[in-house]
Structure 1
Amino acid sequence: MDFDLSEEQSILKDSLDRLLGDKYGFEERNRILKSDTGWSAEMWRQYAEMGLMALPFAEADGGLGGGAVDMMIVMEALGRVLALEPYFATVVLGGGFLRLGGTAEQRAALAPAVAAGETKLAFGHTERQSRYDLHHVETTARPDGAGWLLDGAKSVVLDGDSADHVFVTARTAGGPREAAGIGVFLVDAAAEGVSRRGYRMQDGRRAAELALDAVRVGPEAVYGAPEEGLALVGAVVDRAIAALCAEAVGVMGAMHAETVDYLKMRKQFGVPIGAFQVLQHQAVDMYVATEQARSITHYATMMAEDDDAEARARAMHAAKAEIGRAGRQVGEAAIQLHGGVGMTEDYAVGHRFKRMTMIDLTFGDGEHHLRTLAGKGGLAA
């Protein structure tokens, strides 16, 4: 398998690394983190100018026609600097529903604005009782003439407080845990009956609690069949997991590099602590774990666009399980090798471990995916 980047992909990687290296240092990130919005409108504008928002959309929809590898490059670069902008929520999640579930008319109405950085999206699916089950939905959608009325609540809507539109799942038929009877609806965040409460998560990123009280949407707001939306949700989430794995590789790579630099700089007994063999072994273990995570991420990226939903899901379960294990190993070792200073707000390594923790929990932690994969008979079943 050839994993070499094409010329265009190499240019994308170099250009993005250069932009983030110049504009997204740790001190600058802290300044952005403490701002009212929690992310940088200026960086968002530059992402749009680079074509990052347009990257996954088809050229017919005003995009650049990029694929899963292009998204892997972007997400790994954003992970290295702990970027705070709502790229994952807007382009990966929201853009996924547009690309995979939208009709030509729906894409034409929204995709150009998303590609230009003018419209932000989010995905509201998790509910307080649902844990990691995509099919556990109690929010309801009942017919209202040609449209629908939505009632319910969604939790931990990533970047939901800044989104202009939110894709939400709602039950159109069946019981709360049935796979059938789930629809996907696009809701205007400013619509009557919608209320949001934004907050910071553990890693400083933004999320929101979303309440829907008799929110009226038209027939054009339905993405896919109103009773068969779970397959669309699964396809979008699978691609989102591959993107999260790429971000995690960026985070882990940065943690390893910072730790090695610290081992070379920090002295004890008159010599750099990196001279001690046991610490060298730990640094090597971090490197091995990071490269294993990179390998499984390449596999997940390769499978992200696979039409076989079962094979694709197995790949994502395996990747998320390995990313959870490797991220915990690398993060714990980085904190330990930095000593007490690794726990302070003044050092980036602690912030990176927080982000790794949140990546692990998003769409199911490593233990959840390992159990699910085992229940399916393993990766090669």
Structure 2
Amino acid sequence: MHFDFTEEQTMIRDTLARMVREEYTFETRHKVIESDSGWRPEFWAQLAELGILSAPFSEEDGGFGGGPIETLVIMEELGKGLVVEPFVPSVVCAGGILKHGGSQAQKDEHLAAIIDGSRVFAFAHAEPRGRYDMAFLETRAKADGDGYVLNGHKAVVIGAPWASHLIVTARTSGDVADHDGASVFIVSKDAEGISTRDYATVDGRRASEVYFENVKVGGDALVGEEGGSLGLVMQVADEAIAALCAEACGAMQVANAMTLDYTKQRKQFGVPIAKFQVLQHRMADMFMEYEQSVSMSYLITLKLGEPAAERAKFASMAKARTGQAARFIGQNAVQTFGGIGVTDEVAISHYFKRLTMIDSEFGDAGHHLKRHVALSRKAA
């Protein structure tokens, strides 16, 4: 397939690539993830100022007028720099929930704040016993007058330590894994009854365990239809999968380049190890894994507008293939570097860790292979 980016999309890529290259060096990133805050609010403000946070949204919603392809372009460049700022949780997930399901009042208040960078959101969906089942919700929201009372526990909420607001999924009716009865709420993180346990993740980001104990929200906190929001959540999850696939491609490209450069410099028996045929084969395999992942990333991005079953099938196909490639490239890069490849001071170890974590987010390769097979059989 011949795929050309528009002039505007190329401009976004060039602008962001230059920004990441100049202001997000490995040394800078290392200092950031070791700092108390773990991120750079000033970098987030720059992304807003340059229009990066508005790029995936329509002009009607106050955005640049873009969509999934703009998200792909952005995520590839963020992946190259291992940028830790919460683009997927805040812009793709929370922004997607508001874009597809929010009322005009919610868009005016919250989506506009996401676009201008004044509010950071986290997507509080995963639960300790939920594995990768998007329908599994033990968190409950009970009607209380004109509002709701939330109780439950959300696990590994990426970006929550930096967030001012949460997009929270909770069950308003039905049993734990029912497809009906799921609802979505906008909750301020400083609401009474919310407590968090914040920690650093293995790949340099920050996450929280978020606990809700009789947290009261108004009726205007409900996004979309009460009890009928699982389809909305799954749509946004597929969009997040497409974004993660693009991020992985950016990280894989840099990991491959670093590894190839290392083989040209490292010498054994008086010659660069790049001369060894077994390593030439390894580098060729790593390149092919990357190229296949790029193709799958583009494919799912173009399929996000398809009906739900078709979109989900391609999302699982792309996530499974990209997850396998991410692990293959990360592991082979580290093996090529040898012992120094796992040290914190060497950049390739950080690419290895991020690529490993991408495989597990929103379902690992094994989960998505099973999901793809089940959806394909159902379609047949």
Which TM-score band applies after superposition, normalised by the shorter structure?
over 0.9
Q: 5+ residue gaps in structure 2? A: none
Q: Which residue of 1 aligns with 2:75?
A: 75
Q: Aligned letter for 2:316?
A: H
Partner Cα distance (1:59, 1:376) in 2: 34
Q: 5+ residue gaps in structure 1? A: none
For residue 20 of structure 1, report the CA deviation from its aligned partner: 0.6
The 1:329–1:380 alpha-carbon spacing in structure 2 relative to 1, beyond 3 Å, is farther
Does structure 1 conserve the Cα–Cα contact (< 8 Å) formed by 2:313 and 2:376?
A: no
The residue correspondences of 1:126-137 to structure 2 (distance < 5 A) are 126-137=126-137
For residue 5 of structure 1, report the CA deviation from its aligned partner: 0.7
Partner Cα distance (2:57, 2:163) in 1: 19
Does structure 1 conserve the Cα–Cα contact (< 8 Å) formed by 2:157 and 2:208?
A: yes
Does structure 1 conserve the Cα–Cα contact (< 8 Å) formed by 2:58 and 2:67?
A: no
SS state at 1:225 partner: coil
The residue correspondences of 1:271-310 to structure 2 (distance < 5 A) are 271-306=271-306, 308-310=307-309
SS state at 1:161 partner: helix
Give the TM-score, by structure 1 length: 0.98
Identity of aligned residues (%): 45
Q: Aligned letter for 1:373?
A: H
Q: Which residue of 1 aligns with 2:351?
A: 352
Does structure 2 conserve the Cα–Cα contact (< 8 Å) formed by 1:183 and 1:227?
A: yes
The residue correspondences of 1:101-116 to structure 2 (distance < 5 A) are 101-116=101-116
The residue correspondences of 1:358-377 to structure 2 (distance < 5 A) are 358-377=357-376
For residue 233 of structure 1, report the CA deviation from its aligned partner: 0.3
Are residues 1:58 and 2:48 paired? no
Partner Cα distance (1:103, 1:55) in 2: 20
The residue correspondences of 1:209-358 to structure 2 (distance < 5 A) are 209-306=209-306, 308-358=307-357
Partner Cα distance (1:375, 1:239) in 2: 20
Does structure 1 conserve the Cα–Cα contact (< 8 Å) formed by 2:174 and 2:180?
A: yes
Q: Which residue of 1 aligns with 2:33?
A: 33
Partner Cα distance (2:285, 2:184) in 1: 43
Q: Which residue of 2 aligns with 1:46?
A: 46
SS state at 2:154 partner: strand
Give per-residue Cα distances to partners, 1:210-264, cap 9 Å, x unaligned.
0111111111111111110101100110100000000000111111000000011
Q: Aligned letter for 2:117?
A: G
For residue 379 of structure 1, report the CA deviation from its aligned partner: 10
Partner Cα distance (1:216, 1:57) in 2: 30
Give per-residue Cα distances to partners, 1:18-69, cap 9 Å, x unaligned.
1111111111110111111111122111111111111122222321121111
Partner Cα distance (2:189, 2:4) in 1: 41
Q: Which residue of 2 aligns with 1:177?
A: 177
SS state at 1:374 partner: helix
Partner Cα distance (1:167, 1:12) in 2: 27
Give per-residue Cα distances to partners, 1:161-219, cap 9 Å, x unaligned.
11111011111111111110110011110111111111111111111010111111111
Q: Which residue of 2 aligns with 1:194?
A: 194
Q: Which residue of 2 aligns with 1:87?
A: 87
Q: Which residue of 1 aligns with 2:9?
A: 9
Partner Cα distance (1:50, 1:282) in 2: 39
Are residues 1:97 and 2:97 paired? yes
For residue 109 of structure 1, report the CA deviation from its aligned partner: 1.2
Partner Cα distance (1:143, 1:33) in 2: 41
Partner Cα distance (1:104, 1:376) in 2: 34
Partner Cα distance (2:88, 2:235) in 1: 15
Does structure 1 conserve the Cα–Cα contact (< 8 Å) formed by 2:53 and 2:117?
A: yes
Does structure 2 conserve the Cα–Cα contact (< 8 Å) formed by 1:324 and 1:360?
A: yes
Does structure 2 conserve the Cα–Cα contact (< 8 Å) formed by 1:315 and 1:379?
A: no
Q: Which residue of 1 aligns with 2:161?
A: 161
Partner Cα distance (2:291, 2:378) in 1: 20
- Work out the number of aligned pairs and report it: 380
Q: Aligned letter for 2:248?
A: A
Q: Aligned letter for 1:84?
A: V
The residue correspondences of 1:143-158 to structure 2 (distance < 5 A) are 143-158=143-158
The 1:332–1:229 alpha-carbon spacing in structure 2 relative to 1, beyond 3 Å, is same
Partner Cα distance (1:323, 1:29) in 2: 25
Are residues 1:204 and 2:240 paired? no
Q: Aligned letter for 2:336?
A: L
Give per-residue Cα distances to partners, 1:53-91, cap 9 Å, x unaligned.
111222223211211111001001000110011111110
Does structure 1 conserve the Cα–Cα contact (< 8 Å) formed by 2:12 and 2:52?
A: no
Partner Cα distance (1:2, 1:151) in 2: 50
Give the TM-score, by structure 2 length: 0.98
Which has the higher mean CA deviation after the structures are superposed, 292-301 or 32-41?
32-41
SS state at 1:279 partner: helix
The 1:165–1:191 alpha-carbon spacing in structure 2 relative to 1, beyond 3 Å, is same
Partner Cα distance (1:109, 1:17) in 2: 30
For residue 282 of structure 1, report the CA deviation from its aligned partner: 0.5
SS state at 2:75 partner: helix
SS state at 1:208 partner: strand
For residue 341 of structure 1, report the CA deviation from its aligned partner: 1.1
